[in-house]
Structure 1
Amino acid sequence: MIEVLLFLMMKPGVESTAVGTVTFENPDYCAFTGSSVQFKCFYNYSDEETVRKTSWYKGEMKDGTMQRVSLSLIPSYQNRWIYRGDYQHNCSLELHDLQDTDTGYYFFRFDTNKYGWRSKGSLYLSVTELQATVSPQRVRVGNTVTLECKTTCQLPIVWLRDGHRVTKSQFRAQAEDAGNYSCSAEGPNPKQSHPVALDVWYPPINVSIEVSGGDMLTEGSSVNLTCNSVANPAADGYTWYRTAASSTSSLLQVGSGQVLTISPMEESHNGLYVCQAKNPVGQNNSTMVLVAVGEEGINRFIVLGIRVLGIIVMLLLPLAVVCAWRRSRRSTAEEERASNDYENITVTEFK
């Protein structure tokens, strides 16, 4: 686990310089589980004294009474604390891999060659988690979603959806808002909460029809129409309708299920087909698709004719360009001759 070292700013105040006193830079610390914290601390004594021993204590409730217990005697603190102070005036302490049970009051004591001194006051450490809540966790498109990050630390909070920053903590849900949400405390080594999933329900969208059975439909052949859509939850009902190719004023229900099979294909099956997909949230229709029996020979002739016409055009196009170019040159030459004759005649007449 990556440790985060928190150095909290000292509250405004004047450090005491009286003999046998202990001063804490900040009496209230807040940190996240798994991180590290450093208590800034200073102590003073008379010039005649020499420091022999320093100790940090945790306040523990025993028989209904708050008692000071040395950190060295509490098993859960083993290998998790480091005295960063000295035997002069610095009494700072580091705690690592913070746990919920580390929450509480802390005290400092130092002993000199003459006296034993201990802090009159204490500092308080609050160890907290970041807990993300999404309300409600399952919502229909258009309904309001509220994001809340619970923590006892007063730190700037940002929201993430699948790792991407979210600007609003309350919004009307759209299909693209579905995902895993987590909150994070800003800083050089941000702490992130466990993710919470948001499930957004929406009716079928992008409803379309896929036609299979060959490019050419003839009488007696078979064709499958498949209805596809995107929905949450997935579409669980499909209804097929057909209208005459010449009119779209009335629809006739012709089947149900995601796949509509027409076999054998007859001329009476000709028409515009539409699929309606639905789920518990709503329903939507596809665009219309024309399904019609064709005469194979005529269709082949038309296709062949188009291909031949394309080849002829490709062959004749260069020839047409050359002819147009020659015609343009001839016209230009004739204009020049006509212009020269006119000028010669004019000169002759005025000699």
Structure 2
Amino acid sequence: MIVLLVLLILKRGTVSASWSVTFDDPNPCAVKGSSVEFRCSYDYPDGEIVRKTFWSKGQSESGQWTRVKLEDLPSHQNRSKYLGDLQHNCSLAIHDLQVNDTGHYYFWFDTQKYGRHSRENVYLSVTEPSARVYPGTVRVGDTVTLECTTSCQFASTVWFKDRRLIANPKFQAQVEDSGNYACAVKGQESVLSDPVALEVQYPPLNVSVEASSLGRLSVNSSVTLTCNSAANPAADNYTWYSSAVSGVGSMLQVGSGQVLYIPSMEAQHAGLYICQARNRLGDKNSTEVLLTVDETNVKRLILLVGIGAKVTIVLLLTLVIIWAW
């Protein structure tokens, strides 16, 4: 009696094992835009011949759970490909994954006697990498942390700044670090997250003065000095200093604003000029610019005026003598 019971149990186990569908990974997770393969195998009793196979996706329609063939879903046209056969391989590939591909997938096969669908299913999760930069606005020298998240657990992620790979997701901010950052799952770098911006603020740098004319300037000529700087936020205050005013080498304020205009150069305008640019983070001075006046023209003018005066006096005396005579 015991032997008969054991044989019945073994026979029942053999029969139940004859019909089976097995998934290598019943819970795959993939990145939007990538591809996924459901590795699958199926079995059936000896003597039966498989006539047809297909995959379906479970979805709710009018409150009822139904299985719809992938070939009948417009969203899967030209993206799903059956990799299996009519023997024992039921693998499926889906390309160019979209977020709405997330869901339950079932395998079905028909023999000349029965149609069977898998009791178990593959649940596919499709995720998008999400990038975060914090803080989003920093000053030079502050610590920046880049964080990439997905709804799946991947081995690692990589970061790009303006489409160029960067090594460290945590760094001390420098001026050149301003830009757009995006992340991707390692091995699937072609699928980037939406970019996020990092703004690095800093006081004025590389302050310089541009002069409309350099070298020896003629008397009565005009000159324009323009102050330029790199700053974030942009410099909003400019102050001009010159040694020409003091005459002893010390600098005194001679103007304000990004442009200093001298309409008529005179000897007293000759000297060194610097510009100080400022924003709310600090200030910086430019290098010195030397303005000189061509005094030769001044002396020539004085000489001509003197000669002219003498000639005028001589003519007047001559006229007086002639008149008196």
TM-score by length of 2: 0.78
Between stretches 288-297 and 164-173, larger displacement belongs to 288-297
- Aligned equivalents of 1:189, 1:226: Cα separation in 2: 46
- Contact 1:216–1:296, Cα closer than 8 Å, also in 2: no
Question: Which residue in the other structure is 1:67 paired with?
Answer: 66
Asked whether 1:229 is paired with 2:229, we answer yes
- Aligned equivalents of 2:99, 2:219: Cα separation in 1: 77
Question: Which residue in the other structure is 1:240 paired with?
Answer: 240
Gaps of 5+ in 1: 1-16, 300-351
Secondary structure (helix, strand or coil) at the match of 2:90 reads coil
- Aligned equivalents of 1:83, 1:124: Cα separation in 2: 17
Question: Which residue in the other structure is 1:173 paired with?
Answer: 173
- Contact 2:32–2:191, Cα closer than 8 Å, also in 1: no
Secondary structure (helix, strand or coil) at the match of 2:28 reads strand
Question: Which residue in the other structure is 1:281 paired with?
Answer: 281
- Written as runs of structure 1 = structure 2, the 5 A alignment for 1:22-41 is 22-41=21-40
- Contact 1:210–1:226, Cα closer than 8 Å, also in 2: yes
Secondary structure (helix, strand or coil) at the match of 2:217 reads coil
Question: Which residue in the other structure is 1:101 paired with?
Answer: 100
Q: What is the CA distance between 1:64 and its match in structure 2?
A: 4.9
- Aligned equivalents of 2:56, 2:214: Cα separation in 1: 84
Question: Root-mean-square deviation (CA), in Å?
Answer: 2.5
- Aligned equivalents of 1:96, 1:73: Cα separation in 2: 17
Question: Which residue in the other structure is 2:215 paired with?
Answer: 215
| AA of the residue aligned to 1:118 | H
Secondary structure (helix, strand or coil) at the match of 1:18 reads helix
Question: Which residue in the other structure is 2:45 paired with?
Answer: 46
- Written as runs of structure 1 = structure 2, the 5 A alignment for 1:324-339 is none
How many residues in Structure 1 have an aligned counterpart in Structure 2? 281
Between stretches 32-41 and 214-223, larger displacement belongs to 214-223
Question: Which residue in the other structure is 1:113 paired with?
Answer: 112
| AA of the residue aligned to 1:116 | G
Asked whether 1:133 is paired with 2:121, we answer no
- Cα deviation digits, residues 88-145 of structure 1 (max 9, x gap): 0000112122221110111112121223322221111111112222223333323332
- Contact 1:21–1:117, Cα closer than 8 Å, also in 2: no
- Contact 1:218–1:296, Cα closer than 8 Å, also in 2: no
Q: What is the CA distance between 1:245 and its match in structure 2?
A: 5.2
Q: What is the CA distance between 1:242 and its match in structure 2?
A: 1.8
- Aligned equivalents of 1:261, 1:241: Cα separation in 2: 13
CA change 1:189–1:134 in 2 (3 A) is: closer
Q: What is the CA distance between 1:163 and its match in structure 2?
A: 2.5
Gaps of 5+ in 2: 1-15, 300-325
- Contact 2:277–2:283, Cα closer than 8 Å, also in 1: yes
Secondary structure (helix, strand or coil) at the match of 2:182 reads strand
Question: Which residue in the other structure is 1:326 paired with?
Answer: none
Q: What is the CA distance between 1:201 and its match in structure 2?
A: 1.9
- Aligned equivalents of 1:22, 1:45: Cα separation in 2: 9
- Cα deviation digits, residues 226-258 of structure 1 (max 9, x gap): 21211223323211112345333xx32211122
CA change 1:214–1:292 in 2 (3 A) is: closer
- Aligned equivalents of 2:134, 2:79: Cα separation in 1: 38
Q: What is the CA distance between 1:25 and its match in structure 2?
A: 1.1
Q: What is the CA distance between 1:67 and its match in structure 2?
A: 3.3
- Aligned equivalents of 2:288, 2:77: Cα separation in 1: 73
Between stretches 20-29 and 73-82, larger displacement belongs to 73-82
Question: Which residue in the other structure is 1:92 paired with?
Answer: 91
Q: What is the CA distance between 1:65 and its match in structure 2?
A: 5.0
Q: What is the CA distance between 1:298 and its match in structure 2?
A: 11
Q: Structure 1 vs Structure 2: percent identity of aligned residues?
A: 54
Between stretches 194-203 and 290-299, larger displacement belongs to 290-299
Between stretches 271-280 and 183-192, larger displacement belongs to 183-192
Question: Which residue in the other structure is 1:158 paired with?
Answer: 158
Q: What is the CA distance between 1:74 and its match in structure 2?
A: 2.9
Question: Which residue in the other structure is 2:56 paired with?
Answer: 57
